[in-house]
Amino acid sequence: MPSRRRRLLSPHHRLASPPLSLATQRLGTSRRSRINGGWRRRKWLDGGDAAAAGKPLPPCCVKARAAAPESEAKCHATVVSGWFTEPRSRGGKTSKVQYYNNPMWPGEAHSLKVEKILYQGKSPYQEVLVFESSTYGKVLVLDGIVQLTDKDECAYQEMITHLPLCSIPSPKKVLVIGGGDGGVLREICRHGSVESIDICEIDQLVIDVCKDFFPDLAVGFKDPRVRLHVGDAVEFLRNAPEGTYDAIIVDSSDPIGPAQELVEKPFFDTIARALRPGGVLCNQAESMWLHTHLIQDMLSICRETFKGSVHYAWTSVPTYPSGVIGFLLCAKEGPPVNFLIPANPIEKLEGAMEAGREIRFYNSEMHRAAFVLPTFARKELEAYCTTTENEQPEETAAEPLKIAIMPNSEILTAS
């Protein structure tokens, strides 16, 4: 999530890396200056992984390291005087506030007013914070990075789930990588055709905290179709029988250091192996406002791996950097998949709109719109996407929008 920081790998797990793609070669070390792994950050700040690899620290991490105290950074120190700041810049030369450099979104800051700290803790993998905000409800923070809020979690959870599942008829077996908050599970459970749901999350504390403080998200864990696996995601995928899943949803970390391998070919090859022919992947894919070069890298790799179709979609999430987040949609070679038009519309699934909680964001119109890119993004990304012959958007004549102005009122109604 540019703001998503779900841990997927053991800190000691490494994949063999292929030669860098052309886009990566163009970026060189600056590629890592553009991205940040959140929970991965600590090793790079102390120089551990870089020193072991004999490589210099990326410039962004050098800057962050220079600003950090000698001891391990305390990410919850970003809660200062009743405010949570992401990242918090120094107010002046004499400021004693710790500066957190988040190179995913340089030069930006987003603050949420803290009404009450509800939980602070630390797992073997990351620091966990939950607080009540004044405008977004409860907020989950991992290693100082906002993961979700009560108010806008629906946009991310619903879109990352229903974009892939509504693109194929009757999905039966689904795998979730990450997603320990349970939100993606909640949305998958709306699909009555699904028979089994595997979820692989490495951090048990995230699961436990979300069950306590975000019950509307964690409700998905209660479904009897769900099988929880706490452990390393790549190892789990390697052990999965070939062709097992109809859909795989990757709620991934942002790639830097060890997590960079989550956007390289060996990882996507492992995912493709676990999918049945015509199976689909939906992978968190950053912000088009901030990371088009990284998105190009991911699209290029996936075009080599997934011979069905490859697309980029996006949605709005106010508390994520730049206010948007993207998704990589890929189909394995086999029965053709048209991501642009829902083959399995959510509105026609019995009980799906109300299952446990009404759908607040996703619908079939939002599905189609998610693949419509702004002109600048289309120019930069279109050449990296692949479309099958039958994969064309529907052309329908739009009815004119009727606007009614209520007398003596400022309220506008549209029909």
Q: Which residues are catalytic?
A: 251
- What does 299-310 look like in DSSP terms, one character per residue? HHHHHHH-SSEE
Angle, vertex CA 235, rays to CA 230 and CA 240, nearest 5: 95
Scan for tokens 């829902």, then name that residue.
342
Tokens of 379: 């120019």
Contact indicator for 352, 344 with CB cutoff of 8 Å: no
Contact indicator for 391, 338 with CB cutoff of 8 Å: yes
Tokens of 248: 């795989």
Alpha helix stretches (DSSP H) within 123-198:
153-165, 183-188
87: preceding bond cis by omega (within 30 degrees): yes
Contact indicator for 152, 112 with CB cutoff of 8 Å: no
Backbone angles phi, psi at 113, to 5 degrees: -75, 130
